[in-house]
């Protein structure tokens, strides 16, 4: 079996890293999600999110290509993004992209790794598809009390679309905001 592709495409410290004493050069890379590392993604998501994702979720993730990535920090798996495509009602030429999960382990936050994952997703969403529909918008849900996530997505051009009451019924703070970034506007 072939190992997952890892693109160690960044060896320059980020601004956050240059202020930390004694920090050697780091390597950050994005890896494909494959059957070989799916268990690693499952364990990572168990730590990052208070939701148990079903096997069908992970089966879908294996089919989205560039829209599911694991991020490595000096060869250590520290985060991931998982998206799924949804059909735009009434359109054969457009799809939406839903960010189901995007998370970084707490000790590795503030290194720009979440931004790297999100930028990868957005750049690929904006590429013309080799076949099939184009991505019209990227969207996700965030708990209304998650100020850090709301600030993060706003910084990347996402806007609050609506408040979804009781979206997360299993939590004390059950309301969520639907955030979106429109890539293609239909007339």
Q: Please classify residue 109 by burial: count the beta carbons closer than 10 Å to its beta carbon, then call 0-12 exposed, 13-18 middle and 19+ buried.
A: middle
Among 98, 101, 65, which Cα is nearest to 81's? 101
Query: Are 30 and 7 a contacting pair, CB within 8 Å?
Result: yes
Structure tokens at 137: 């918008």
Catalytic one among 53, 98, 108, 168? 98
What is the C-alpha separation between 32 and 34, in angstroms, rounded?
A: 6
Tell me if residue 177 is catalytic: no
Catalytic one among 53, 141, 156, 167? 141
Tell me if residue 156 is catalytic: no
Q: Using CA atoms in the order 125, 95, 113, 61, what is the torsion angle rounded to 10 degrees?
A: -120
- Encode burial over 146-168: b for 16+ CB neighbours within 10 A, e otherwise: eeebbebbeeeebeeeeeeeebb
Active-site residues, by number, are: 98, 141
């Amino acid at each position: 079996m072939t190992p997952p592709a890892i693109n160690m495409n960044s060896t320059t410290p980020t601004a956050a890293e240059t202020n930390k004493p004694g920090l050697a050069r780091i390597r950050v890379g994005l890896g494909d999600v494959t059957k070989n590392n799916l268990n690693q993604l499952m364990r990572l998501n168990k730590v990052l999110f208070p939701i148990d994702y079903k096997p069908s979720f992970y089966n879908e993730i294996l089919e989205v290509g560039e829209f599911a990535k694991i991020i490595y920090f000096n060869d250590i798996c520290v985060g991931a993004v998982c998206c799924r495509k949804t059909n735009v009602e009434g359109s054969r030429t457009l799809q939406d992209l839903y960010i189901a999960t995007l998370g970084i382990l707490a000790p590795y936050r503030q290194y720009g790794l979440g931004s790297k994952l999100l930028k990868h997703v957005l750049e690929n969403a904006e590429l013309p598809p080799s076949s099939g529909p184009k991505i019209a918008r990227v969207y996700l849900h965030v708990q209304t009390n998650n100020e850090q996530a709301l600030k993060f997505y706003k910084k990347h051009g996402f806007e609050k679309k609506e408040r979804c009451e009781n979206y997360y019924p299993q939590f004390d703070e059950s309301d969520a905001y639907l955030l979106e970034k429109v890539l293609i506007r239909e007339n």
